[in-house]
């Protein structure tokens, strides 16, 4: 029998204190009024152009991520404790990445198998020995967190390459402010609108050592066919910086410039939203038409900062994830404030045997997968699906990890049948520069199908506004 999920609001008659005002609002609002607000929110998103293309569905550029008008509420004290754990974790992850491209002390101490690092697709030999500004590799981290009880949060995975979704966090709040301004005021919700300012300040703070004057920042996008292009253009606009594609940048004498109507203008920091492989055709994939030839040479020369750093994805691997608590102890000399989900590495004989024997009760994930793809949710899979996945495990055991099926917390959600509980996770965004900073909240993703634990937008999930309360 599956474990009972913790409901973050609780029963209407005895709800948890953070949800008291939301409970009263729900009790006083008819389903018809809620549906009207839902349609208004959809109209705003469509008029604003907030879309997300899913490549497996033909890359429809007009696809909207479903938005739920009932907010997810987190008490101020809960958030403060969570944010301390997130800051600690990202600090350790940055130390690990720096170490792997430097002395490799964690590896030499036998704290992680060498093949998990050196054969990892995210590990870039071109980054070894390269000095980066302030030893920061992951300037923007998205840490996926799930809640299982009033006091227990687990980290589900770390996103240290090019985490997306922050524009939806900001636009969700903007929509809720327009639709329910009085409720926001009554609940005393902490703001998130200053995120672009914090992001820009963070990027400027890691300007390269040869930067002269005020750092010039540009956001590098693959272009309008990318699924997250809306976010790229939104963030560039909010920060007041140029949105550029690879053809807009050029490297001359180991210095990066962008083309403008007034000639070339030096760029000091490139906030790149393209994958490592496409970043520099002279260093990585020679057939890339998205990147900037020579930008890695300018990077090595200390003339430009690339954020997030190439090779930061070595820490995103779901097998490497299992070692993060030990990274906290090794690099920081502290006990982890946030827990990992218990995990079996199928690359190990015992882990594979356990996974094969318990497929009916486990979640099995591709170590390099994302977006909810390449995974099996055992309790919800058919006998045939489990048999097919068992064959995959036996054929390539080092490509998978297995975890227990957590009882992800639920939040009240407006669905076709009315208000009902649906499972959620949370992606807070951690900014690392001179200091580590977070805005209070993050992107709450919600599994809209009853009983589903898959919250990814690419798998039919939606989003909610995340309210962190004052006090």
Q: Is residue 167 part of a domain?
A: yes
199 in the same domain as 348:
no
> In angstroms, rounded to a whole number, what is the distance separating the alpha carbons of residues 433 and 87?
12
Reported confidence tier of residue 65, pLDDT bands at 50, 70, 90: confident
At 114-132, the pLDDT tens digits run 999 999 999 999 999 999 9
Query: Last residue of some domain: 355, 379, 404?
Result: 404
Instruction: Report the first-to-last Cα separation within the chain, whole angstroms.
Output: 38
Q: Which of 285, 270, 315 is nearest to 122 (CA)?
A: 315
- pTM recorded for the entire structure: 0.94
Q: What is the residue whose two structure tokens read 């390539």?
A: 396
Predicted pLDDT of residue 123: 97
366 in the same domain as 454:
no
- Residues forming beta bridges with residue 438, ordered by sequence position: 430
> In angstroms, rounded to a whole number, what is the distance separating the alpha carbons of residues 126 and 32?
58
> In angstroms, rounded to a whole number, what is the distance separating the alpha carbons of residues 462 and 458?
9
Q: Which of 30, 8, 13, 40 is nearest to 444 (CA)?
A: 8
**For residues 179-194, average pLDDT:** 97
**Under the phi-then-psi rule, with left for phi > 0, alpha for psi from -120 to 50, and beta for the rest, what region is 374?**
left
Burial of 303 (0-12, 13-18, 19+ CB in 10 A): buried
**CA distances for 214 relative to 13, 21, 201, 248, 295, angstroms:** 56, 46, 11, 21, 20
Give yes or no for a contact between 377 and 423, defined as CB atoms under 8 angstroms apart.
no
Q: Is residue 166 part of a domain?
A: yes
Give the strand pairing for 217-220 and 242-244. parallel
> In angstroms, rounded to a whole number, what is the distance separating the alpha carbons of residues 225 and 287?
18
Predicted pLDDT of residue 454: 80
350 in the same domain as 459:
no
> How many domains is the chain partitioned into structurally?
2
- CATH number for the domain spanning 391: value is 3.30.1490.270
126 in the same domain as 194:
yes
324 in the same domain as 417:
yes
At 383-429, the pLDDT tens digits run 999 999 999 999 999 999 999 988 899 999 999 899 999 999 999 99
Q: Which helix (H) or strand (E) holds 243?
A: strand 242-244
Query: Last residue of some domain: 372, 404, 436?
Result: 404
At 301-350, the pLDDT tens digits run 999 999 999 999 999 989 999 999 999 999 999 999 999 999 999 999 99
- 396 φ/ψ angles, rounded to the nearest 5 degrees: -145, 70
CA angle at 174 for the pair 168 and 176, rounded to the nearest 5°: 100
Predicted pLDDT of residue 115: 93
Query: Last residue of some domain: 404, 434, 453?
Result: 404
Q: Which of 269, 295, 403, 260 is nearest to 345 (CA)?
A: 403
Structural domain harbouring 16: 12-208+304-341+406-468
> In angstroms, rounded to a whole number, what is the distance separating the alpha carbons of residues 51 and 168?
10
167 in the same domain as 67:
yes
**Residue 83 CB coordination number (10 Å):** 20
């Amino acid at each position: 029998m599956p474990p009972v999920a913790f409901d973050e609001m609780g029963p209407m008659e005895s709800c948890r204190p953070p949800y008291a005002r939301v409970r009263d609002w729900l009790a006083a609002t008819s389903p018809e009024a809620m549906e009207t607000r839902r349609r208004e929110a959809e109209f705003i998103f469509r008029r604003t152009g907030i879309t997300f293309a899913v490549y497996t569905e033909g890359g429809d550029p007009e696809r909207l991520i479903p938005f739920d008008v009932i907010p997810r509420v987190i008490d101020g004290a809960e958030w403060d404790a969570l944010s301390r754990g997130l800051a600690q974790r990202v600090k350790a992850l940055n130390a690990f990445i720096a170490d792997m491209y430097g002395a490799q002390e964690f590896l030499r101490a036998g704290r992680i198998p060498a093949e998990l690092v050196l054969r990892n697709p995210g590990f870039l030999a071109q980054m070894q020995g390269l000095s980066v500004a302030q030893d920061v590799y992951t300037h923007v981290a998205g840490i996926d967190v799930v809640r299982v009880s009033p006091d227990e949060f687990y980290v589900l995975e770390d996103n240290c390459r090019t985490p997306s979704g922050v524009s939806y966090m900001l636009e969700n709040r903007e929509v809720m402010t327009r639709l329910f301004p009085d409720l926001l005021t009554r609940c005393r919700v902490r703001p998130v609108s200053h995120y672009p300012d914090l992001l820009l300040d963070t990027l400027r703070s890691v300007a390269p050592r040869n930067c002269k004057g005020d750092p010039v920042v540009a956001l590098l996008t693959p272009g309008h066919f990318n699924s997250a292009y809306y976010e790229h253009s939104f963030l560039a606009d909010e920060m007041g910086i140029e949105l550029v594609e690879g053809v807009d940048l050029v490297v001359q004498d180991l210095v990066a410039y962008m083309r403008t109507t007034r000639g070339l203008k030096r760029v000091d920091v490139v906030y790149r939203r393209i994958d490592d492989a496409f970043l520099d055709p002279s260093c990585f994939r020679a057939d890339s038409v998205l990147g900037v030839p020579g930008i890695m040479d300018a990077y090595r020369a200390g003339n430009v900062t690339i954020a997030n750093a190439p090779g930061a994805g070595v820490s995103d691997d779901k097998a490497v994830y299992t070692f993060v608590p030990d990274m906290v102890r090794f690099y920081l000399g502290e006990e982890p404030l946030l827990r990992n989900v218990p995990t079996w590495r199928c690359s190990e004989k015992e882990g594979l045997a356990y996974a094969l024997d318990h497929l009916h009760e486990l979640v099995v994930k591709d170590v390099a997968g994302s977006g909810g793809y390449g995974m099996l949710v055992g309790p919800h899979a058919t006998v045939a699906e489990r048999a097919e996945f068992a064959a995959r495990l036996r054929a390539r055991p080092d490509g998978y990890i297995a975890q227990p099926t957590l009882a992800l917390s639920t939040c009240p959600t407006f669905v076709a049948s009315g208000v009902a509980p649906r499972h959620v996770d949370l992606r807070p965004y951690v900014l690392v520069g001179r200091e580590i900073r977070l805005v209070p909240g993050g992107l709450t993703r919600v599994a809209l199908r009853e009983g589903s634990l898959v919250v990814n937008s690419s798998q039919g999930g939606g989003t909610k506004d995340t309210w962190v309360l004052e006090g």
